[in-house]
Amino acid sequence: MKIKTRILVSFLVLALVPLIVASGVLLVLGRNSLRDQALRHLQSTAEIQKKRVEEFLSDNLEHIKLDAGNKIIEQGLASYLSGGGTASQTALTSSVQDMQAHTPSFDKVSVLGADGRVIASTDPSATGKDLSGTTYFQAGRDATDQHAFALDKNGNLIEYLAAPIQAGGRNQGVLVVELGATELTDLMTDYTGLGKTGETVLAEKTPDGGALFLGPTRFGEKKSLTTSVPGSKSGVPINVALSGKAETLTNSLDYRGKPVLAATQFIDDPRLGLVVKMDRSEAFAPINQLLAIIGIVVGVVVVLVVVASLLLADSITRPIVALTGVAEDVSGGDLTRRSGIERHDEIGTLASAFDRMTDDLLSEREGLERKVAERTAELARSNLELDGYAHTVSHDLRGPLASIELAGAMLADMVDLEKDTLEREDMAEIVRQLRASTHRSFSLVDDLLALAEAGQSPAEVEAVDLGEVVGQILTERSSTFEARGADVKVVGELGTVVASPTHVYQLFANLIINAIKHNDSAEPMVEVRGLGEAEGGGRRYQVWDNGPGIPEEDFARIFEPFFKGKGGETGVGLATVQKIVELYGGTIAACNNEDRGACFEFVLHDYPSGEGAAAS
């Protein structure tokens, strides 16, 4: 991250974090305060509304209880039932008319017989009607009941009250009163103190466990007994109220599916639910306004901080950027560059020190270049001398060794002519040791020559088919492999590589022969695997065997020249392999298989054209 960006981020963090934290705390406290205040208001309003509903309902119940126990009504019903006929019916009609006159809230008063038929009523058209199927008649036969709500012909909410009439010591009929419930609907349409979204709703339970609103709703249907909520929505406030709970709700959805704050109350007789609620958006409107103001303040602060930090950062970073550019040029080799910065502060001191350092570097480089040229020439001479030494030693040793080998063969023939058995055996042992030493010396000379040539650029390269090279090795060394009972397989496509055929032969021959030579398995097995393209170019290969594997302590030195390890011979085979792989721009690594055996994995690249070789 650039210094200017770091300064900008640091200033923003220092300025905004305290502001955001303080604003967050203020918002949370304000939100909680508004919520608690709104819930207290809704709860107190719900308690007041509940008391008003209960007073309305209880007043009407008291009236009907008194009227049902009126002796005139009881005697009139008894007279009618004992065969009083039209005269008794007329007397009952007169009694209910008087009852209505004394209780103006009663819109209609009727006396029903035990069979549910209207005997007398303030509404003459109702006389003789069968009301036995109504819920209020069935409930009013045994006890005073306030149960049913309905709509009149004008769509207004009405209420039915029913109470039993006794005659001769037992219930012989039912007194039914129909009265307007506008006081309830007025209560539900009174939104005083509830803002723009608040309302009071009153509902009775439906047979399926849901809620049927008695009055109109503020945002739904404007008619009574038309809005309902299914019982499956148990979290809706009106269903909570009908379950008998009086509580406050902070995050529930109302009948519209809107999130609200609500207070619930339950009215036991009749079983009604009452809810006073308000939309959360309105309840939290002040805090939302505060949030908008805080957002504006934060935005202004961000702009000011960004402008101030950019100005400050520019005054600091501009000379640093210029000095960085000079440093990059100097590191790229241009020691003639200088900063040219003149300031009387820490940056000016740094620039002056950098310029002095560049002057010193220029002087040092000139001296170093002279030394490097001298040492390079010396190293080239040393390499030529070493290569010549290796070739000379190897070549010169071959002559004496060949003579020794020939002498050993002649001695072996002479041993066969010796007649003394003991002398012949002693001479044969000496000849055997002589020829074995000569053979080891020849192997060492061959390996030294191979090692010396492995790191040299090939005189000529060509597209070498690696499969053919491995096949040639298997053919030429078949007698050795058969003597060991070894099985050598090629797995996968080996492909081609632009290289010296001799180098490729040496590479695979060393790895395959080593894998068999150091394999103590009863059935030695070697696999040469082509692994396809390597990441970054070249091709990957593995040479795997089922032998004893590589000792852990040998891994660090396994590719060192003349490191023999356990059971090794000259110790230059793997060093030769590594030199060839590196000459072709690759890498090689050794590991042990999970079960048993060693594995060498390496990458070969095409030899680059124009670098000491002419591709053919």
Q: Given this model, what pLDDT does residue 325 score?
A: 76
Higher-pLDDT residue of 550, 454: 550
Q: Which domain holds residue 476?
A: 458-615
Same domain for 428 and 514: no
Q: How confident is the model at residue 350 (pLDDT cuts 50, 70, 90)?
A: confident
pLDDT > 70 fraction of the chain, expressed in percent and rounded: 84
Q: Of the residues 180, 207, 237, which one is the last residue of a structural domain? A: 180
What's the number of domains the chain is made of? 3
Task: Please name the helix (run of DSSP H) or strand (run of DSSP E) that holds residue 424, with its range, or none.
Answer: helix 421-454
**What single DSSP character describes residue 326?**
H
On whether residue 394 sits in a domain, the answer given is: yes
Per mean pLDDT, which range of 58-72, 268-282, 317-331, 529-543 is the poorest?
317-331
Report the distance separating Cα 571 and Cα 560, nearest Å: 8
Q: Are residues 397 and 528 in the same domain?
A: no
Q: Are residues 580 and 440 in the same domain?
A: no
Q: What is the largest CA-CA distance in the chain?
A: 173
Q: Is the pLDDT of residue 249 over 90?
A: yes
In a domain, residue 169? The reply is yes
Least confident of 86-95, 113-122, 308-317, 422-431: 422-431
Do 466 and 588 fall into the same domain? yes
Same domain, 516 and 597: yes
The pLDDT of 29-47, averaged and rounded, is: 91
Predicted pLDDT at 294: 81
Looking at residues 390-397, what average pLDDT do you find?
A: 56
Give the three-class secondary structure for 257.
coil
- Whether residue 172 sits in one domain with residue 98: yes
403 and 525, same domain (yes or no) = no
Q: Is the pLDDT of residue 129 over 90?
A: yes
Of the residues 454, 475, 499, the one at which a domain ends: 454
Identify whether the C-beta of residue 237 lies closer than 8 Å to the C-beta of residue 252.
yes
Q: What is the pLDDT of residue 612?
A: 47
* Same-domain check for residues 547 and 599: yes
Average pLDDT over the chain, rounded to an integer: 82
pLDDT tens per residue across span 148-161: 888 888 889 999 99
Q: Is 205 left (phi over 0), alpha (psi -120 to 50) or beta?
A: beta
Other Cβ atoms less than 10 A from the Cβ of 556: the count is: 9
pLDDT at 615: 38
With respect to residue 275, please indicate whether it lies within any of the assigned structural domains. no
| pLDDT reported for residue 285 | 87
Question: Is 198's pLDDT higher than 90?
Answer: yes
End residue of a domain, out of 139, 160, 180: 180
Closest CA to 222 of 321, 299, 155, 161: 155
Residue of higher predicted confidence among 291 and 420: 291
pLDDT exceeds cutoff 60 at 395: no
User: Does the pLDDT of residue 328 top 70, yes or no?
Assistant: yes
List phi, psi (to 5°) of 560: -75, 140
**pLDDT band for position 201 (50/70/90)?**
very high
SS (H, E, C) 446-464: HHHHHHHHHCCCCCEEEEE
Same structural domain for residues 442 and 555? no
pLDDT given at position 200: 95
Type of residue found at 411: L
CATH code, domain carrying 481? 3.30.565.10
Asked whether residue 401 falls in the same domain as residue 441, the answer is yes
Q: Is residue 222 part of a domain?
A: no
Indicate the pLDDT class of residue 316, thresholds 50, 70 and 90. confident
Q: How confident is the model at residue 119 (pLDDT cuts 50, 70, 90)?
A: very high
For residue range 526-563, list pLDDT tens digits in order: 999 999 999 888 999 999 999 888 888 888 888 887 77
Name the region of 503 (left: φ>0; alpha: ψ -120 to 50; beta: rest): alpha
User: For 178-196, what is the mean pLDDT?
Assistant: 89
Q: Of residues 402 and 236, which shows the higher confidence score?
A: 236
Per the confidence metrics, is the pTM higher than 0.85? no
Reported as a pLDDT band with limits 50, 70 and 90, residue 255 is very high
The CATH number of the domain holding residue 77 is 3.30.450.20
C-alpha 52 chain-centroid distance: 56
Distance CA 409, CA 415 (A): 10
10 domain-assigned:
no
Indicate whether 472 belongs to any domain.
Answer: yes
Measured CA to CA, the distance from residue 335 to residue 364 in angstroms comes to 11
pLDDT at 613: 45
In the chain, the N- to C-terminal Cα span, in Å, equals 52
Higher pLDDT, residue 336 or 295 = 295
Q: Summarize the confidence of residues 265-271 as an average pLDDT.
A: 88
Q: Which of 241-250, 307-316, 446-455 has the lowest mean pLDDT?
A: 446-455
CA distance 412 to 435: 10
Same domain, 448 and 504: no
pLDDT band at residue 444 using 50, 70 and 90 as cut-offs: low
Question: Which one-letter DSSP state was computed for residue 189?
Answer: T
Strands 487-491 and 525-533: parallel
Q: Is residue 102 part of a domain?
A: yes
Q: Are residue 520 and residue 384 in the same domain, yes or no?
A: no
C-alpha torsion sign, points 57, 60, 66, 69: negative
Q: pLDDT at position 145, please?
A: 65
What is the per-residue pLDDT for 45?
93
> Nearest to residue 340, comparing CAs of 329, 352, 358, 356?
352
Residue 558 CB partners (closer than 8 Å, separation 6+): 550, 565, 574, 590
468-511, pLDDT tens digit by residue? 999 999 998 888 888 888 999 999 999 999 998 888 988 999 89
Confidence of residue 435 (pLDDT cuts 50, 70, 90): low
Q: What is the pLDDT of residue 264?
A: 96
